[in-house]
Structure 1
C-alpha cells in the first residue's frame, strides 16, 4: 500500500491522463497516474492507434492552458481541407473553415503523448507509474488492486478521488457499471478506416 494518498489518482497515461494531471497540479493538487503500458519514451510506441490526430481550436486552447501549445505546434502540420474522391473518379476539395486561417492541425498521436508525459513528469506533485495493470477496484473502500506487469508484484492502492482516463475498455467504467442506478450505453458505427502509408 502506498504511504501517502494523493489528492487525485488517474488511471491511464494516454492523452487525457497527463493533460488532466497538469490541470490539477496547476491548482496545487498532488496527482498519481497509473498506466498499464510500458513508458513509450523508453520502449517505443505500442502498436495500435497510429492514425494522426487533427487538433482543433478547442484542443489548442487546452494545450495553451498548460503551456504546451507552442511546443506542440512545432510538430504539427496545418490541414486546410480534405480531398473527396467520388465513385466516378471526380475530385473535389472541401475546406475546413471559411478562410485560410481556420485549419485543423495534424500531429502524431505518439508524439503528442510523449510531449504530455514529459511535461507532466517535470511538475512537482505529479507521479506517473508505468506497467501497472489494475486488477480490481473497490469503490466503496476507495482502493484498487494493482499488478506490476514486469515483477508480477501485487499492490493495494488507496485513493481519494479516482479519475478514469483508461480508454475504450475502461476498467474503472467496468466496475462502475456494477453500482446501482449506473446507466451505460455503447454504440458501434458501421464504418471503419483503412490506413495507407504513402512515402513523401
Structure 2
C-alpha cells in the first residue's frame, strides 16, 4: 500500500535534490517565509560518508559567493575556503610557471570541499524552522495532473505519494524531474559527451602536516590531449584529477594495469610521482567519471515545475562554474519571487521568467567551459596565449570601462554569462589582431588598441 501525504500549507514548495543547489535554495526560500519540503535520494551526508563518485573539491567564485552572502552563510563558509590566486603550470621538465588569475588582490577563487559546504547549507536549512528534509527518497514518477510525486524509500522500500503545489528539480544531471517534464512537454534534451573522462587521486600532506606544493594555486600539468590538476584542501592535502580521453591509445581504457599506470605517470607527470604514494591503488580503486554537457528546454512546466542547477544545465568542470551557476540560478529565482511578492504570486510567470533568463546563460557557460578545457590542457603553455593574456591585462588597465578579460568576467563578476561570452568573442578578435607579428608587450600598438576597443566594445556593467 502506498501512503499519501497531502500539502497543508498553500505557500509550500517541494524540492527534489538536497545537494548544493537544493539545500541553498531551501535556505533562500525559507528566508522569504516559504515552507520547503526537501527530498533527497541519498542518505544524510552529515551522518554517513557520501561521495557518489563526484569531485570532492570545487572552485567558489564571486557568482557563488553572492548567493551565499544573501543566505547569510558566508561567515560559516569562510573558514573552509582555501585561496587560489592563479594557475601554477608544470611543464614536462618539472619547471613551474605561475599565471595570475587577475590583476587585483581580490581577484582570486577559492577551493572548497563539496561535502563540507553541503553540510553547512543543510544545517542552515533545518535551522530556519521552515524546511523539512527527507532522505533516502527516490523519485519514481511525477503526475502533473494530480500534482503528486511517487517516492520509494531506498532503505525500507516503502512507497509514498506526496502532493505538491510547486515542484523544483535540483536533482542533478540525471534529473527525474527533467525526465517527467519532458515526457509530457515538447522538449529538447541533448547530452553531449565530451569523449573524455576523469579520475580523482590525492597528494597527502607532508610528514609535518605541510603542503607539499604551493597551497595558493590551482596546479595544472597540461599535456595537450590530457592534463592533471590539483586543488588544495584545508588539511594540506591536494585533490588531484586526471582528465584524458575515455578510449584510444592514450586513454583510461588503455591504462588497464599497475605497470601501465606507473609508466604513464613516469613519462608524462614525472614530477608528481613522489607526491602520489598511493597512485596505483587510488587509480584502480576510485571510479572513472564521464564528462558530458546537458542542455535542455524548457526548464519549466506551466506553474507547476521548474529545473535548476545540473538538472537544467550540467556542464563540464573546466571553468569551475557548475556550482556557481547553480547558486546563481537559486538567487535569481529568489529575487524574482521578491519582484512578485506584492501580488498574488503567479508561479507560471516566475518560472517562465527564470527559464527565459537563465537558459541562455546556462548554455553560454556550458560552451565556455568546453573552450576552457582546451585552454587548460594546451593553451596555457603557448607563448602566444601568454602574450594575449598580458595584452588583455593592459587593455583592462587602460580601458576599464570597456575591456575586461573573459576569464575575469566569468570568475570575478556577475555579468550574465551570455554577455561575457559575446564580449569574449569580440575581445579575442581584438587580442589576436594586436598580437600579430608581436613577441612582447612593448611591441603592441596601443593606439590601434584604443581604436579597436572603443569602436567594437560598448561600456561594460560588471555587476548588474
Interval of TM-score (by shorter of Structure 1 and Structure 2): over 0.9
Compute the displacement of 1:67 (Å).
0.5
Scaled by the length of structure 1, what TM-score is found? 0.93
Q: Which position in structure 1 is the counterpart of 2:71?
A: 66
Alpha-carbon displacement from aligned partner over 1:96-125 (angstroms, at most 9, x marks no partner): 222232111111000001111011011121
Task: Determine if contact 2:55/2:114 at 8 Å carries over to the other structure.
Answer: yes
- Distance in 2 (CA, whole Å) between partners of 1:158 and 1:5 is 9
* Higher percent of residues as helix: 2
CA change 1:25–1:89 in 2 (3 A) is same
Residue 161 of structure 1 pairs with residue 166 of structure 2: yes
Q: Which runs of 4+ in 1 moved over 4 A?
A: 87-90
Q: Which position in structure 1 is the counterpart of 2:194?
A: 189
Residue 4 of structure 1 pairs with residue 39 of structure 2: no
Q: How does 1:85-164 map to 2 (within 5 A)?
A: 85-87=90-92, 89-164=94-169
- Distance in 2 (CA, whole Å) between partners of 1:74 and 1:119 is 16
Compute the displacement of 1:28 (Å).
1.0
Alpha-carbon displacement from aligned partner over 1:144-185 (angstroms, at most 9, x marks no partner): 111112221111001110000000100011111212322222
CA change 1:21–1:171 in 2 (3 A) is same
Show structure 1 runs of 5+ residues with no match. Answer: none
Alpha-carbon displacement from aligned partner over 1:75-103 (angstroms, at most 9, x marks no partner): 11001111223346543222222223211
Alpha-carbon displacement from aligned partner over 1:2-57 (angstroms, at most 9, x marks no partner): 24345200000000111111111111111100000000111122341133111001
- Distance in 1 (CA, whole Å) between partners of 2:191 and 2:103 is 34
Identify the range of structure 1 (94-103 vs 118-127) with the bigger mean alpha-carbon deviation.
94-103
**DSSP 3-state at the match of 1:140:** coil
Q: Which position in structure 1 is the counterpart of 2:37?
A: 32
- Distance in 2 (CA, whole Å) between partners of 1:104 and 1:86 is 23
**Higher RCO, 1 or 2 (CA under 8 Å, sep at least 6)?**
1
Identify the range of structure 1 (128-137 vs 40-49) with the bigger mean alpha-carbon deviation.
40-49
- Distance in 2 (CA, whole Å) between partners of 1:187 and 1:111 is 30
Scaled by the length of structure 2, what TM-score is found? 0.42
Show structure 2 runs of 5+ residues with no match. Answer: 206-464
Compute the displacement of 1:192 (Å).
3.0
How many residue pairs get matched?
Answer: 200
Q: Which position in structure 1 is the counterpart of 2:319?
A: none
